[in-house]
Structures are given as C-alpha cells and as structure tokens.
Amino acid sequence: MTFLAWVSTDLGRPDAAEGHARAAWHFAEECGHSGLLAWVCKTRQVAAYWDDRKENALRHAEHGLRYAMRAGGETEVMLASTLALDYARLGRGDEARIMLRHAQEVGPGRADYPGGPLSCAPERALSYWADACLVLSDPCQALEMASRSVEISQGRPGRTRNLGTERMTVLHMVRAHIDGGALDGAVEALAPVLQTPPEARAAPLLLQLAEIVGRIPDASRNGGQGRVIKEAIGAFCDETPYTEG
C-alpha cells in the first residue's frame, strides 16, 4: 500500500496517494514496524508537498522523524533530510540548518526499511541536502552536493541505480546554475533529463521543470540561453502522455 501511494503521486494523483497511505498506516501500526511507519509518513509528505500542501507536508515529516529515530540508519537520514528541506521551504532557515546537520551526522543503522524507493542511499541523501541548500540560497554548496550525488549514482550497476532520484538531482544542478547566473551550465546540465522517455516522466519531474522555468531571470527568459531552456522544457512537457491530476 505504501508503494502504491508513492506511485500514485508519481502519476499525478496525490489524492489517491493519501487514501492508500492511510491504509498503509493501519497495517504498519498493526505490525509495530517503526521503519515502515516512518516511510508511510514520508510517502504522505511527498503527496502533500506535490499537492501544494506544504504545512501538511511538514507535519508528516515531523511525525515520521519520531518513528525514524527508533529505526535509525537510512530511515532517520531520509526523514531528517526531508524535515530540513520542509523547514527551508517554509522560511524556517535556522531550524532547517540544525536539521540538516542532524541528517548529516546520523550513523549507520540496521536496515529497518522496506527497500527500493523506500530507502535512502548516500546519493539520495545528498540530493535532499542539495535541494535544501538551494532553498537556503547557497547554490555553490547545492551544486557541489548534487554533482557528488549524480557521480555516485552513475557509478552504480544498472539494477541498483535510482534513475528517478538521479534525474531530480540533475535538476537541482540546473537550478544551482541558474541561481548562480550560469545559464550555459544550466543548458548543458538539463540536456540528459530531456532525453527521459515518456513513460518515465513522473509528475514531480514535470513540476520541478515548471519551477525551473520560473527561476529564469525575467531579463533572460525571452532571449539567449534562458529562452532555450524555456522552449526545451515546454516541448518536453507537451510530449508527455498525461497531465497532473
């Protein structure tokens, strides 16, 4: 049920995700699995964020961290990283930085998580930290973290490589280049994401691309590399076989 909720968000149905996640919560409670309870909270956080319910997303992350701290390891890293990002998104910078340090200091723990998308390998943690740094107006640090994340991901065997996370992390690199005034670098970084096959174009990917268009400075949006980015993303989204909702 947790996987079904996660996939529902990827397909642009956060409303359906919430229903599946409520069922998942019931089952996780019944079996007393702290790691799974944390991941259900994370799944609900994802659905709420992409449904533009950012306060709800924060509450799910806070709730999930309480269970994640019992599980430790990757589960705690994921929920702490998520909470750092949500604090940053809501303008709570000091709390975001404290939680970011917490996430970076979590030691390895037992594998008390379901696995697959519901896990937090080093490259995934770095992706969240890069996103938080972007929101905290530190594009240089964000670019460094995102680049490290992509490098780790690309070095993994194909069966263990999380291409969804990798694509989103590349978009963090694009955002960092734009925020740093390097539109040439943004165009170069964006190119591989625009090769994503239609069946792999998850709704959050499209929403992130729309955010990138909004970050292009007004003076650059209708000319030069800014226009290249805007038109390339527009064409990519037009070719996608479904729309959000």
Q: Which residues of the chain have pLDDT under 70?
A: 109-115, 242-245
**Tokens linked to 118:** 């519901």
User: CA-to-CA distance for 205 and 135, rounded, in angstroms?
Assistant: 17
* CA-closest candidate to residue 15, choices 42, 40, 52, 41: 52
Residue 31 shares a structural domain with residue 116 = yes
User: CA-to-CA distance for 81 and 52, rounded, in angstroms?
Assistant: 19
Q: 80 near 234, Cβ under 8 Å?
A: no
How far, rounded to the nearest angstrom, does the alpha carbon of residue 93 sit from its chain's CA centroid?
Answer: 18
Last residue of a domain, one of 100, 120, 140: 120
Residue 241 shares a structural domain with residue 209 = yes
Residues 6+ apart with CB under 8 A from 169: 123, 126, 127, 130, 146, 149, 150, 153
Q: 41 near 60, Cβ under 8 Å?
A: yes
* pLDDT per residue as tens digits for the range 96-155: 999 999 999 997 766 556 667 788 999 999 999 999 999 999 999 999 999 999 999 999
pLDDT of 80: 97
**Alpha helix segments (H runs only) across the chain:** 2-10, 14-31, 34-50, 54-71, 73-89, 93-105, 122-135, 139-154, 163-179, 183-190, 203-215, 224-238
Residue type, 107: G
pLDDT of 114: 64
Residue 155 shares a structural domain with residue 211 = yes
Q: What pTM does this model have? A: 0.91
Which domain CATH number covers 38? 1.25.40.10
DSSP state of 192: T
Residue 138 shares a structural domain with residue 59 = no
Domain range for 149 is 122-245
**Residue 166's CB: how many other CB atoms inside 10 A?**
21
**Tokens linked to 98:** 């404290």
Residue 70 shares a structural domain with residue 108 = yes
